[in-house]
């Protein structure tokens, strides 16, 4: 299938590792110009070099930015617009907020998670839209979690703000359809990244089991019997963000190996 990405520019946020990295690499592999951002300069540089070397695409750029900060997002767009008029494809990703249950979360943690998980999407979308509207074409894919369909124990911040992103995305899909800007949500179930390994470790500490036991239990709850790979997740992100997707908008798609049982 031709994803028609050769003349497109994508921004993938939080992309020095994990799902963001795999997605940025997949876009680059399809010939798109790709901007990556992340908070750490050395990690970002390493990611950009890896993608360039492994895909043979030189049009890959890294810009240091913390997506929870408004000023960083404005600077990110200023730097992008020094190279291109704007981005065609926005992949909104960010690190996950800390794990925890209601009683362990104070106002400051709520505010920080709000900025990281919800306001980042609002701000990045706001700055992407003028160019997308002007050219009457755009794709926005917001990474959330399978928790938008089924909340996950001990992740109250994530459960709360990611459903906010899902509501925002559906509303935007309706508002932006007339500009041919398609907005979708992609929810990972359990994809093998550092973040998932960290969560397994936390759970092992809570339950007193080994990390291997925790992973085995998680895998046995997944109909496909294993964690997904970042590449399997990225394939759907790239399709939804491509010109090959002409008619899917306002949807929440889970890449979860069948984990969530809801329709
Ligand atoms: P990860 O921790 O492996 O990678 C996160 C990336 O985000 C890193 O590159 C990190 O440097 C960057 N980052 C973190 N905070 C940032 C910020 N404020 N500004 C810019 N960059 C930032 O995580 P992952 O597994 O790739 O997951 C990505 C997102 O998907 C997270 O929000 C995670 O909670 C969510 N998620 C992942 C899974 C999964 O199975 N991997 C499941 C559910 C939800």
pLDDT tens figures, 61-115: 999 999 999 999 999 999 999 999 999 999 999 999 998 999 999 999 999 999 9
Rounded distance between C-alpha atoms, residue 99 and residue 122, angstroms? 23
Q: Encode pLDDT of 213-231 as tens digits.
A: 999 999 999 999 999 999 9
Atom of ligand 1 nearest to the CA of 143: 30
Judging by DSSP bridges, how do beta strands 33-38 and 60-64 pair with one another? parallel
Percent of the chain with pLDDT over 90: 97
Per-residue confidence at 203, pLDDT binned at 50, 70, 90?
Answer: confident
Q: Encode pLDDT of 139-162 as tens digits.
A: 999 999 999 999 999 899 999 999
Average of per-residue pLDDT across 18-40: 98
CA neighbor of 143 nearest in space, from 5, 7, 3, 22: 22
C-beta 196 within 6 A of ligand 1: yes
Of 12-26, 76-90, 120-134, 185-199, where does mean pLDDT reach its minimum?
185-199
Q: Encode pLDDT of 235-257 as tens digits.
A: 999 999 999 999 999 999 999 99
C-beta 194 within 6 A of ligand 1: yes
Average of per-residue pLDDT across 25-39: 98
C-beta 195 within 6 A of ligand 1: yes
Mutate to test the pocket of ligand 1, among 15, 19, 165, 254 (most ligand atoms within 8 A of CB): 19
Mutate to test the pocket of ligand 1, among 69, 94, 120 (most ligand atoms within 8 A of CB): 94
- What is the structure's pLDDT at 3? 97
Ligand 1: distance of its center to the CA of 47 in Å?
Answer: 14
Q: How many alpha carbons fall within 13 Å on the CB side of residue 148?
A: 26
Ligand 1: distance of its center to the CA of 135 in Å?
Answer: 30
Domain locations along the chain: 9-190+229-255, 193-227
Residue 59 has pLDDT above 90, yes or no: yes
- What is the structure's pLDDT at 202? 85
Q: Encode pLDDT of 176-195 as tens digits.
A: 999 999 999 999 999 999 98
For atom 12 of ligand 1, which residue has the closest CA?
A: 14
Q: Which CATH superfamily is domain 9-190+229-255 in?
A: NAD(P)-binding Rossmann-like Domain (3.40.50.720)
- What is the structure's pLDDT at 195? 86
Ligand 1: distance of its center to the CA of 120 in Å?
Answer: 13
Ligand 1: distance of its center to the CA of 143 in Å?
Answer: 9
Ligand 1: distance of its center to the CA of 178 in Å?
Answer: 31
Provide the whole-model pTM.
0.97
The mean pLDDT of the chain is: 97
């Amino acid at each position: 299938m031709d994803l028609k990405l050769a003349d497109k520019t994508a921004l993938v946020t939080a992309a020095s590792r994990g799902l963001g990295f795999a997605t940025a690499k997949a876009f680059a592999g399809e010939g798109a110009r790709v901007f990556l951002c992340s908070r750490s300069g050395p990690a970002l540089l390493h990611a950009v070099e890896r993608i360039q070397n492994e895909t043979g695409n030189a049009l890959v750029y890294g810009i240091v930015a913390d997506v929870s900060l408004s000023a960083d997002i404005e600077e990110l767009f200023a730097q992008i617009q020094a190279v291109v008029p704007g981005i065609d494809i926005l992949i909104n990703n960010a690190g996950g907020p800390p794990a925890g249950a209601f009683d362990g979360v104070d106002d400051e943690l709520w505010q920080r998670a709000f900025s990281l998980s919800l306001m980042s999407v609002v701000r990045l979308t706001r700055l992407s839209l003028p160019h997308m509207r002007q050219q009457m074409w755009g794709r926005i894919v917001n990474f959330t979690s399978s928790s938008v369909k089924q909340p996950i124990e001990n992740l109250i911040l994530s459960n709360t703000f990611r459903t906010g992103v899902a509501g925002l995305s559906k509303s935007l899909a309706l508002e932006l359809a007339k500009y041919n800007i398609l907005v979708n949500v992609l929810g990972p179930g359990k994809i093998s990244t550092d973040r998932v390994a960290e969560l397994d470790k936390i759970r092992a500490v809570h339950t007193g089991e080994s990390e291997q036991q925790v992973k085995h239990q998680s895998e046995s709850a997944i109909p496909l019997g294993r964690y997904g790979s970042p590449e399997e997740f990225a394939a759907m992100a790239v399709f939804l963000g491509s010109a090959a997707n002409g008619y899917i908008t306002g949807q929440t798609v889970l890449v979860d190996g069948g984990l969530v049982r809801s329709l």
